[in-house]
Amino acid sequence: MMKYINLALRWLFFALIIKPIVKIVIGLRYQNQPILPQDGPALLIANHNSHLDTMVLISLLPLKILHKVQPVAAADYFLKNKFMAWFTLNIIGILPIERQGKDKTVNPIEQCAKALDSGKILIFFPEGSRGEPEKMTDLKYGVVKLAERCPKVPLYPIYMHGLGKTLPKGDALFVPFFCDVVFSEPMTYENSQESFYGEVKKRFANMQDSVKLPKWD
Amino acid sequence: MLFDFESMRTVTQVFMFLLAGLSLATVIGWVLSLQNKQKNYTELKQRINSWWIMIGIFGLALLMGPLVTVLLFAMLSFIALKEYFSMTPTRLVDRKVLFWAYLTIPLQYYWIATGWYGMFIIFIPVYAFLFIPFRMVLAGDTKNYLRAVGNIHWGLMLTVFTLSHLAYLVMLPSEGEYQSLTMSGDGAALLLYLVMLTQLNDVAQYVWGKLMGTTPIAPTISPNKTREGLIGGVITTGVLAMILAGLLTPMIWWQGLLVGLGIGIAGFIGDVSLSAIKRDIGIKDSGQLIPGHGGILDRLDSLTFTAPLFFHVMRYFYF
Number of independent structural domains in chain A: 1
Are B60 and B95 found together in one domain? no
Q: Name residues whose C-beta falls within 8 Å of residue B241's C-beta, 6 or more positions apart in sequence.
A: B193, B197, B256, B257, B259, B260, B261, B263
Q: Quick one: residue A61, left, alpha or beta (phi over 0 = left, psi -120 to 50 = alpha)?
A: beta
Distance from chain centroid for Cα A211: 19
Contact B98 A175 (CB under 8 A): yes
Question: Which residues in chain A are contacts of B90 at CB distance < 8 A?
Answer: 165, 214, 216-217
Q: How far apart are the first and last CA of chain A?
A: 51
Give the strands of the sheet with A28-30, arranged side by side. Answer: A28-30, A179-183, A155-161, A42-46, A121-124, A69-74, A95-97
Of A68-82, B105-119, B123-137, B144-158, where does mean pLDDT reach its minimum?
A68-82
Number of independent structural domains in chain B: 2
| A217 part of a folded domain | no
Are B51 and B180 found together in one domain? no
Q: What is the pLDDT of residue B134?
A: 96
Range of the domain at B60: 1-64
Contact A212 B89 (CB under 8 A): no
Are B152 and B218 found together in one domain? yes
- Of B64, B84, B111, which marks where a domain is finished? B64
Are B193 and B225 found together in one domain? yes
Handedness of CA B295, B301, B304, B306 (dihedral sign): negative
Is the pLDDT score of B6 beyond 50? yes
Are B60 and B71 found together in one domain? no
Residue numbers of A between 76 and 115 with CB closer than 8 Å to B:
none
CA–CA gap between residue A205 and residue A210 (Å, rounded): 9
Are B22 and B70 found together in one domain? no
Contact B283 A177 (CB under 8 A): no
The 10s digit of each residue's pLDDT in B218-255 is 899 988 899 999 999 999 999 999 999 988 999 999 99
Are B175 and B296 found together in one domain? yes
Contacts of A72-80 with CB under 8 Å at 24 or more apart are A72/A97, A72/A112, A72/A122, A72/A123, A72/A124, A72/A125, A73/A97, A74/A99, A74/A129, A75/A99, A76/A102
Helix B227-248 with B9-35: angle, nearest 10 deg: 140
Residue from B75, B82, B90 whose CB has the most chain A CBs within 10 Å, to mutate: B82
Are B47 and B92 found together in one domain? no
| A199 part of a folded domain | yes
CA–CA gap between residue A211 and residue A31 (Å, rounded): 8
DSSP-based three-state secondary structure for A71: strand
Are B58 and B141 found together in one domain? no
| A205 part of a folded domain | yes
Give the global pTM: 0.92
Range of the domain at A83: 2-210
Question: Sorting pLDDT into bands at 50, 70 and 90, what band is B8?
Answer: confident
The 10s digit of each residue's pLDDT in B153-181 is 999 999 999 999 999 999 887 766 777 77
Q: What are the residues facing A123 on neighbouring strands?
A: A44, A71
Instruction: Report the complex ipTM.
Output: 0.89
- Position with higher pLDDT, A194 vs B267: B267
The 10s digit of each residue's pLDDT in B37-96 is 777 888 888 999 999 999 999 999 998 889 999 999 999 999 999 999 999 989 988 999
Q: DSSP letter at A104?
A: T
Q: What share of chain A in percent tops pLDDT 70?
A: 94
CA dihedral B209, B210, B213, B216 (to 10 degrees): 70
CATH number, domain containing residue A199: 3.40.1130.10
Are B107 and B133 found together in one domain? yes
Are B60 and B73 found together in one domain? no
Closest to B78 (Cα-Cα) out of A175, A165, A50, A212: A175
